[in-house]
Amino acid sequence: MPKHLLLAAMLAGSLFPASSAVAQSTAAAPIFRFEADGFWLNLHHFLYVLSRAQAGMPDARRSAVVRAPADQEEGLKTLSEPDRQIWAEAVSFYAQGPGKQDMVFDQPLIAVTHAMRVPPDTAAKALNVDPALRATLERAAPIYRRVWWPRHQQANHDRVRDYARLLEQHGDKMRAYVTRAYQVSWPTEGFQINVSGYTNWAGAYSTAGDLIVVASLDPDMTGSLGLESMFHEGLHRFDDAMMARLLRLSKEHQTPAPRQGIIHALIWYTGAEAVRSVIPDHIGYAERLFMWRQKELGSFKAGLDAHWKPYLDGTGTLDAALVGLLKS
């Protein structure tokens, strides 16, 4: 069995021990599956965040990626001058192309990232990407594999073990909380999370095509924040269904149309409350970063407090809570 599939199988067994009929039933429906050995995906993200730092992008100062240049410098000390030149050319290639795009919103880069989700032993020539990008990755790959990949891969596995413990302790209750709140069914195969040393400025993101990526070297992706981040990205898989419901309710009740940002506001709020239901002293990601004070997200806070929080606590219906939020 390939190593990356073996890891998923081992995690499924460790998270859901088949000691009873109930446990066996749960084992067939994992909450998340993890891919920690995605070599090309990790190389792709490392070059991406380094290129944005080289270009002086403002998001390069965010905590999830700010350490990447120092990580690079430590590795460069061990390289010969020819290898240093090859690596510098790879970072510059990204800075002039993929690094100018957004991991979440720019479709060409999303397509490239999906193309990196291949087995670890895939040869560069098999990557379904632009030839110039493929050639760049092929030259950089031996250097990355030798210098940075062992530590990044170990961090990935360490992070997956941490997440496995969190999910073993809290996963079933968290899944029950968010599916009740959204009135949806979690997929029986769970959601796959691709673990990468670096991802983007946010430390975790999801895009179309069921892609979820979480950074193993981001200190904010640990503990209860890591638990919130996993379910935050999982909830994004229901964005279309939630927006369809909001649009229907808006029409039926003649409320203002759903404003931009309402879906994300619901997820930030619900994810934090879900974690608090199992870890009472949890401080949500949006609270820690004072995101509710920002103009766009903060404009939803009063409505969420007045209508969504009571619903999460068991009062009223989903539709009534959403209509109240729309009216507010």
What DSSP letter does each residue of 66-102 carry, written as one string?
A: TTHHHHHHHHHTTS-HHHHHHHHHHHHHHHHTGGGS-
pLDDT at site 29: 77
Q: Are 74 and 185 contained in the same domain?
A: yes
Write out pLDDT tens, residues 254-293: 999 999 999 999 999 999 999 999 999 999 999 998 999 9
Segment 142-165 mean pLDDT: 98
Q: Are 142 and 190 contained in the same domain?
A: yes
Q: Are 116 and 188 contained in the same domain?
A: yes
Q: Residue 9 is encoded by which pair of tokens?
A: 């199988």
Q: Are 57 and 129 contained in the same domain?
A: yes
Q: Which residue bears the tokens 């983007």?
A: 200
Q: Residue 230 is encoded by which pair of tokens?
A: 């996993």
Q: Are 124 and 265 contained in the same domain?
A: no
Count of other CB atoms within 10 angstroms of residue 279:
17
Q: Are 58 and 177 contained in the same domain?
A: yes
Of the residues 189, 221, 253, the one at which a domain ends: 221
In a domain, 14, yes or no: yes
Instruction: Judge contact between 197 and 156, C-beta under 8 A.
Output: yes
pLDDT greater than 80 at residue 183: yes
The total number of structural domains in the chain stands at 2
Q: Are 73 and 111 contained in the same domain?
A: yes
Mean pLDDT of the chain: 91
In a domain, 25, yes or no: yes
Q: Are 213 and 124 contained in the same domain?
A: yes
pLDDT at site 180: 98
Segment 155-183 mean pLDDT: 97
Which residue segment(s) compose the domain that 289 sits in? 238-327
Segment 33-61 mean pLDDT: 97
